[in-house]
Amino acid sequence: MRVIRITGTAILSLLLGIAGPAYAQHEQQGEKQDHPQQQSKHEEAKPERQHAQQQKQSEQKQQQHAQQQRQDQNNRQQHAQQQQRQDQNNRQQQAQQQRQSDQRQQQAQHARQQRGNEQPRRTQEQQRVQRSAWQQHRSQRWDSDHRTWQQRGGYHGYRIPDDRFRGYFGPDHGFRIYGLPFMVVGGYPRFQYSGYWFSLVDPWPEYWGNDWYDNDDVYVMYVDNGYYLYNRRYPRTGIAISISM
């Protein structure tokens, strides 16, 4: 009986020894079988993460594009506002310039009207004096009555600067004495033109018209180191004149 019990015990131990490693091996195989499933799940989740990242990048690009569009729209609005302000300033400047031009024209017209109103009174008051002064200096024999500046010892009056003389005097710049400021100094007629006073020191030729100083165009020339007054009707004759400020 002891032998049988011992033998049964030994057989049971042997069976347990064999079953233990087999069970462990079976567990390892089960783990191996489970691991590929986990790896497969990980590999399946990987494309989903890539898709999520790509979608996120796409959304970021869309946001950046929308932000750039808003920035461009703001820039266009600012440019349009600046252009509108510039156009408004230009219109205001043009309107101001037009008002100034209209004001100058009105002032000039008013001045012409005043001169027109004053002209008859002035002519009536000074016509007799001017006519008397001019007639007193009419030559009887021009060839013997007049003298050149060389014969007078040279010109000693004011000299007009060359650039101003070219701009306001000479044959291309004729004018009429009638209506200009006038006075008599030392018995000689004197009139003002272009900011200068012109005094006649020569008599005027007898063959000129009686009212040449009212109706004829005259001009000033610098000839032989002196100034002379010429009449367009008689361009060969120059009257010696002296200029002062």
Name which of 234, 46, 23, 22 is nearest 146 in CA terms: 234
- The arithmetic mean of pLDDT across residues 95-108, rounded, is 69
At residue 156, the pLDDT reads 92
If one compares 103 and 211, the residue with the highest pLDDT of the two is 211
Listed by start position, the domains of the chain span 57-127, 137-244
Query: Do the Cβ atoms of 180 and 214 come closer than 8 Å?
Result: no
At residue 36, the pLDDT reads 52
Segments in the chain forming alpha helices (H):
2-136, 142-145, 162-168, 212-215
Indicate the average pLDDT of the chain.
79
Q: Whole-model pTM? A: 0.50
Query: Do the Cβ atoms of 180 and 122 come closer than 8 Å?
Result: no
At residue 3, the pLDDT reads 45
- Over residues 138-190, the pLDDT tens digits come to 999 988 899 999 999 999 999 999 999 999 999 999 999 988 999 888 888 99
If one compares 21 and 77, the residue with the highest pLDDT of the two is 77
- Over residues 123-143, the pLDDT tens digits come to 666 677 788 888 888 999 988
CA–CA separation, 222 vs 172, rounded Å?
A: 13
At residue 52, the pLDDT reads 82
SS3 191: strand
Q: Residue 238: is its pLDDT beyond 60?
A: yes
Computed from CA positions of residues 103, 104, 109, 111, in that sequence, does the dihedral angle turn out positive or negative? positive
At residue 27, the pLDDT reads 52
Name the region of 123 (left: φ>0; alpha: ψ -120 to 50; beta: rest).
alpha
Instruction: Quickly tell me which residue has 């079953």 as its tokens.
Output: 19
CA–CA separation, 97 vs 115, rounded Å?
A: 26
At residue 154, the pLDDT reads 93
Give percent above pLDDT 70 in the chain. Answer: 71
- The arithmetic mean of pLDDT across residues 15-34, rounded, is 51
- The arithmetic mean of pLDDT across residues 100-105, rounded, is 67
